[in-house]
């Protein structure tokens, strides 16, 4: 799968009192990037994917973050996202949050697919697998 890029700016609300990015902001940016990647790939929002008894929820089951450099107020950052591994019920996503060529944070995110109706693990729908493979 190709790499999906999501670019944003570091705002005051993303930082601590001295203008350094607060650690939880990286998780927010990673979530935004995964959401926009999915929206681009399957042409529908997660809310529509989750509708009805046959709906699918995509939940974070694990996350590992290696903070490498601090980000600062007004930085322009890009989240590089790619699917590292796809299984029957879950997938692993690799995300690098970068300022230009500098890696600020390196994330490995485990995602679980869950039935919206039954709230139990569910197979990844074929149309999502196909979209990942074609991207």
Catalytic center residues: 16
CB crowding 42-72: b at 16 or more within 10 Å, else e? beeeeeebeeeeebbebeeeebebeeeeebb
Cα-flanking dihedrals φ and ψ of residue 18, to 5°? Answer: -110, 15
Which position has the token pair 């989240």?
A: 79
C-alpha angle 82-70-19 in degrees, rounded to nearest 5: 120
């Amino acid at each position: 799968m190709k790499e999906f890029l999501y670019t944003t700016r570091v705002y005051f609300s993303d930082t601590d009192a001295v203008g350094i990015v607060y650690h939880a902001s990286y998780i927010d940016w990673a979530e935004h990037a995964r959401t926009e990647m999915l929206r681009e790939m399957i042409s529908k929002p997660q809310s529509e994917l989750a509708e009805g008894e046959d709906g699918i929820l995509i939940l974070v089951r694990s996350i590992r973050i290696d903070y490498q450099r601090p980000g600062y107020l007004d930085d322009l950052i890009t989240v590089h996202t790619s699917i590292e591994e796809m299984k029957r019920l879950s997938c692993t996503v690799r995300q690098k949050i970068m300022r230009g060529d500098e890696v600020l944070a390196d994330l490995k995110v485990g995602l679980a697919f869950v039935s919206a109706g039954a709230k139990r693990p569910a197979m990844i729908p074929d149309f999502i697998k196909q979209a990942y493979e074609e991207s």
